[in-house]
């Protein structure tokens, strides 16, 4: 999974260089706009000989801006698509004195092969 997170980080860095954080590593008072990503679940979906060989990981990506910013939203979505990452925009909300939060969800597969 670490490779998936490294890959996602490298993709998101193309949208907002030096303003991408893993959920547990957000700088206090980070300047807007920024992107936060985090792994929200990991489920085994296929088994072979009682061992999981396919896991699906769900990663949440939050784009945080001070106001609605269609240009950054489009850049993020275009960048995800350019890297063959399917996404769903699942929510958008405003928190007073904090910003606009646009939430995306992606799913990534992890295969475990016999050695």
pLDDT of residue 54: 72
And the tokens for 61? 């990506």
Quote the pLDDT of residue 30.
Answer: 84
Quick check: 109 and 94 in contact, CB under 8 A? Answer: no
- Distance (Å, whole) CA 28 – CA 71: 25
Q: Would you give per-residue pLDDT tens digits along the chain (115 residues)?
A: 458 889 999 999 999 999 999 987 777 778 999 999 999 987 666 556 666 667 888 999 999 999 999 999 999 999 999 999 999 999 999 998 889 999 999 998 776 654 4
Domain coordinates in residue numbering, the chain: 2-111
For residue 1, the model assigns a pLDDT of: 47
Would you state the pLDDT for residue 109? Answer: 76
User: What is the CATH topology of the domain spanning 2-111?
Assistant: STM4215-like (3.30.2000)
Query: What sign has the CA pseudo-torsion 19, 22, 28, 34?
Result: positive
Tokens of 36: 């936060």
Cα separation, 102 vs 80, in Å, equals 15
């Amino acid at each position: 999974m670490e490779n998936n997170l490294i890959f996602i980080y490298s993709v998101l860095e193309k949208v907002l260089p030096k303003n991408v954080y893993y959920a547990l590593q957000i700088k206090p008072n980070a300047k807007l706009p920024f992107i936060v990503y985090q792994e929200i679940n990991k489920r085994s979906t296929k088994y072979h000989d009682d061992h999981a060989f396919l896991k699906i990981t769900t990663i949440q990506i939050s784009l945080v801006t001070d106001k609605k910013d269609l240009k950054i939203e489009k850049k993020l979505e275009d960048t995800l698509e350019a890297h063959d990452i399917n996404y769903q925009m699942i929510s958008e909300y405003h928190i007073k004195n904090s910003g606009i939060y646009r939430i995306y969800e992606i799913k990534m597969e992890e295969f475990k092969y016999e050695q």
